[in-house]
Structures are given as structure tokens and as C-alpha cells.
Amino acid sequence: MSRINRIVCLFILSIICSYAGLDSTQSIDTTFVVLIDCTGDGVEDSIVYRISGSTWMVPLTATYTIKSAGKTILDETSSDEALDGQFPSEDIFEGCTEYLTCKKEWYFNRVPKKMVQLVDKKSEQRESLLDSTSGMSIPDLVGMFYADSLGYSRKKTKSAVRKLTAHLRKNDFVILTIPVIPIYPSIPRIYDPTHKRFIGLFGL
């Protein structure tokens, strides 16, 4: 089974199991798992997305954990108090007009599908994402991170960008997007194996 099919099957299984028999008074503790190589080392990593709450009528807690080679490389939790007050709203997605239906759709369908974008060697957008002449490509945006967040000199920034770009050109790679509040744009991220961390692609 291909990696893309593997992701789709995991999503479908989770969504079918999660929707069955739910009502507004039930407690929620549902986990979605995606198996995909986030780090570019050729080995599948696990992305675990868990949502929990005492009932559907209160703000939920969302946890995102990524494990690679037995180590946790990302672990984030959000209490969705600010988000809960946004339901229902067409600003979240078209057709979001009823609180409970909209909320379930967001957590069980929209979030899992938004989390992972696989950019393989056959992807039509691969070249534009890596084309440093565009001004808003991955090399451009990670260069801003190296310079602004890590304080790299121009020479060190160029060297780090070249190294990461060469790595991405040789491998399939994943763009990770963890939604926080749907009415605000989420920041895509990409894994940098040299710095062993995810880098935010502000502006992508």
C-alpha cells in the first residue's frame, strides 16, 4: 500500500469509528494516527492527533504528537476555548451553520485532512515550492527563519538553505499544518533534519 493510500485509509477508519453513535452529551476521547515519513530519513513516523473533552458542548482539548525513531519530535496541546465560540460560522467553512454538526465536521474531518501534505517527486507543485527565484518558496522562507530566529549570518544562512534544499530535492517531503483556530491562517511547517526541528513557513 502506498503512503498516500495508507494515510487515506487511516483517516477513513478513524472518521467512521468516531462518528458512530455520538451525541452532544457524550465524552470525547478520539485519536487519529497518520503514519508517514516526516523527517525524510525513509522511515515512517507517527503523527498522533487526539481530541478530548467532557462533552461536545464544551471547548475541547487537541493534542498533536509526532514520534520519530522512538523519540518525540513535536508535542503541542491546545485548549480550544477561543475556537469554541466561533461555532457555527461560515468563516470556518462553507455550510458551517449548526453548532454540533459544524464542530464534529471540523475536528473529525477538516483537521485530519489539513494536517499533512505529502510532496512527492511527482507532485506538480514541487518545483514551485523549491524554486528560490520566486521570493516565497521554501528556500526563501527557511532562509528568513535562519536569519531572523537563529541569528545566522548571510553566509551561514545561505549554507543552511542550500543543505536543506538539497535534502528536499532528493526526497519526498511533508508539509505539516496544525490548525489552531480555523478563522486564522495556520502556519505550514517543514522538518529540518540538520537542526532536528520543524520550521515555520510564514507566508507560504
Residues 10 and 94 in one domain: yes
Pairing of strands 61-68, 197-200: unpaired
Who contacts 99 (Cβ-Cβ below 8 Å, separation ≥6)? 87, 88
Residues 134 and 193 in one domain: yes
The x, y and z cell numbers of residue 53, run together, are 473533552
Higher pLDDT, 48 or 186: 48
Instruction: Report the C-alpha gap between 202 and 198 in whole angstroms.
Output: 12
Last residue of a domain, one of 93, 116, 139: 116
pLDDT value for 149: 87
Domain, as residue range, for 161 = 119-200
| Cis-peptide, bond into residue 188, ω within 30° of zero | no
**CB atoms near residue 4 (< 10 Å):** 12
Higher pLDDT, 24 or 192: 192
Residues 51 and 112 in one domain: yes
Residues 144 and 178 in one domain: yes
Last residue of a domain, one of 65, 86, 116: 116
Residue 151 has pLDDT above 60, yes or no: yes
Instruction: Report the C-alpha gap between 67 and 173 in whole angstroms.
Output: 16
Residues 13 and 32 in one domain: yes
Residues 149 and 169 in one domain: yes
Instruction: Report the C-alpha gap between 182 and 112 in whole angstroms.
Output: 13
Residues 112 and 123 in one domain: no
Instruction: Report the C-alpha gap between 80 and 58 in whole angstroms.
Output: 9
Residues 88 and 144 in one domain: no
**What percentage of the chain exceeds 70 in pLDDT?**
85
Mean pLDDT of the chain: 83
Rounded mean pLDDT, 61-74: 93
Residues 135 and 66 in one domain: no
Last residue of a domain, one of 70, 88, 116: 116
**Count of domains for the chain:** 2
The x, y and z cell numbers of residue 151, run together, are 541569528
Residues 45 and 134 in one domain: no
Residues 149 and 166 in one domain: yes
pLDDT value for 180: 57
Residue 4 has pLDDT above 90, yes or no: no
What angle, 0 to 180 degrees and rounded to 10, lies between the N-to-C axes of helices 138-148 and 154-170? 140
Instruction: Report the C-alpha gap between 52 and 11 in whole angstroms.
Output: 17
pLDDT value for 55: 92
Q: Tell me the pTM.
A: 0.79
Q: Which of 1-15, 46-60, 118-132 has the lowest mean pLDDT?
A: 1-15
pLDDT value for 46: 95
Residue 88 has pLDDT above 90, yes or no: no
Q: Which alpha helices (H) appear in the chain, and where do they start and end?
A: 3-19, 81-84, 99-105, 111-115, 126-130, 138-148, 154-170
Q: Which of 34-43, 122-131, 158-167 has the lowest mean pLDDT?
A: 122-131
pLDDT value for 15: 43
Residues 110 and 58 in one domain: yes
